Amino acid sequence: MTIDRALQLLNAELDGELSASDRVELQELLAARPELHTQREALRDLTRCLQRAADLEPPPGMTQRLLSSIRLPVRRRMSWSLPRWQLNPRALPFAALATALMVAVGSYWSLPPNSMVGDSAAMVGSMVRDQSQAGMELQDRLALDLDELSGEVTLATAAAGTRLLEFELASSDAVDIAISLAGSGLVFGGFSQGENSVDLIASDAATLRLRSHGERHFGVILHAPATANATGSSSIGLEFSGQQKSLFKGELKAP
């Protein structure tokens, strides 16, 4: 047995890495060689010394500097996105049918048409039971391919005059979405899906403001009130902004 072996065992003991057989061996060594107790104390003293050394506090603002310098990867597009429908006109009826099926089986949520706009608590949770709304037809779409934001927005109409705005977005930072309904004859009728993945910032009769962050998929239901002409053309303005600057402005139209 060498002195090195004894010190190895003392180090392992200090680090809590002694096996049962090592422990027996160390106890025998300590009994046979009293000078090892001094070595043992020296190691313990060193450890106490290192433990007392103060930790370095992160400098003020370090967390924010780190967060602002890190860009997270953003998935560009989900595999089932819609552009192919428009590339091949013959596929459009199938796409519309697929949308209708999605609406039918997807447990869409909305408010009754006469619900008060702006009551965010009431906007979520009323299930659409009128399956006539399932006859959705894709009318328009916007593709987004910016550094800060990618994805697409589609506008579909239902037989009952209800419009469905469907968002499929990915962004590395929070993005504010302003949906302008002024002149469209439409009012916000609730979320069709994904209501938990998007923040409702504000809404009034003319504008709905949402905040999306990361990869989000959600649908917004728009109703034509009974007093409005539900068969008229609807133009819906969209503006996306992030970090206090406008990123993209566009319009969706449903004839």
H or E stretch at 45: helix 35-52
- Structure tokens, 64: 């924010």
CB neighbour class for 240 (10 Å; exposed up to 12, middle 13-18, buried from 19): buried
Q: Is 157 near another protein (CB under 8 A)?
A: no
- Structure tokens, 129: 């039971």
Distance between CA 97 and CA 29 in Å, rounded?
82
Q: How many residues sit close enough to another protein to count as binding (CB under 8 A)?
A: 44
Q: Exactly one of 45, 119, 147, 251 binds another protein (CB under 8 A); which one?
A: 45
Q: Please state the closest distance from residue 125 (CB atom) to another protein, in A.
A: 24
Q: Is 49 near another protein (CB under 8 A)?
A: yes
Based on CB atoms, which residue is closest to another protein, 77 or 139? 77
Distance between CA 69 and CA 147 in Å, rounded?
15
Q: Is 96 near another protein (CB under 8 A)?
A: no
Q: Is 67 near another protein (CB under 8 A)?
A: yes
Q: Is 243 near another protein (CB under 8 A)?
A: no
- The residue with tokens 């990361």 is 214
| Residues contributing to the site for another protein (CB under 8 A) | 7-8, 11-12, 15, 17, 38, 41-43, 45-47, 49-59, 62-63, 65-67, 69-75, 170-174, 213-215
